[in-house]
Amino acid sequence: MKPAARLGALCLALCCLGGARGLWRSDSHEWHKLIMVHHWPATVCKEVKNHCKDPPDYWTIHGLWPDKSEGCNRSWHFNPEEIKDLLPDMKIYWPDLLHPSPNRSLHLWKHEWEKHGTCAAQLEALNSQKKYFGKSLDLSKELALNSTLQKLGITPSTYYQISDIKDALVSVYGVVPKVQCLPKQGGEQVQLLAQIEVCFSKDLQLQNCMDPGEPAPRGPEARPAASLGLEVCKDGVLFYPALNKTNH
C-alpha cells in the first residue's frame, strides 16, 4: 500500500473508532454526579391530568441523570433488543406514566437513554444500554424508596414539613436528597410531594444532592426542564397525596 493510502486508511480507522463515543468526551459533556430520580404517580398524573392510564400506587423510576450534561451522542440510538432481559422489571419499576399507547414505556426509555444514558456511558459500569438500565434498576432496588418511606411512617394522604421528610431520608441514606414538589395551583392550598432525587458519585457511592442547610434554589435552577413543572420544595408544609384511581 502506498504511504498516502496507508495514511488515509489509518485516519479512517481512527475516525470509526472514535465516532460512537468521541462526542461525549468533550468538555461540554463533563458531569460530576448521578441523580437517581423517583417520582410519585399521584402527583405526576395530577400535573398532566388525563394523560395517565392505570398509574401504579408506588414510587417509580423517572431516570438516572448525570447532573450537567444531556444528549451526549445523538447517533447512539435506543435499541429495545439490548434490554429485553430487563423488560419484566422495567415494566414494573420504570413505567411511562405519561404516554398511554400500548408501547408507552418504550417512549420513556428511549428518551432516558438518548438524553441521559448516552452521557452516563462515560462510566464503564454504564457504557451500554443494558448496563445503564440494569444498574439503574439495581440502584433503585438498593434505595428501596417505597419500603423506606413506609418504615419511616411517611404515608400518603398526610401533610408533612418538608424538613421532616428530608431529615428522615438522611437518617436512612446518610446523604441529603433533593425533594421536588408540584407548586400550589388551582384549589390546592399547599405544594404536593412529587419527586425524590438521591445522588451518587461517579464510583456509584451515595453523596449529597444538596449540602446540609443549603437553601432551596430559586429561579430557573429550581425548575429543571425535565421536571414537568415541578420545583424544589419550598420550606414549610407539603401534602403527600394518595392515588385516586377513579380519576384515571
Active site residues: 62, 112, 116
Amino acid at 242: A
Q: Answer whether 87's CB lies under 8 Å from 41's CB.
A: no
CA distances from 73 to 22, 96, 139 (A): 8, 23, 24
* Measured distance CA(12)–CA(37) in Å, rounded: 40
Cβ 212 vs Cβ 176: under 8 Å: yes
Ranges of beta strands (E only) in the chain are 34-39, 60-66, 158-161, 178-182, 191-200, 206-207, 231-232, 237-240
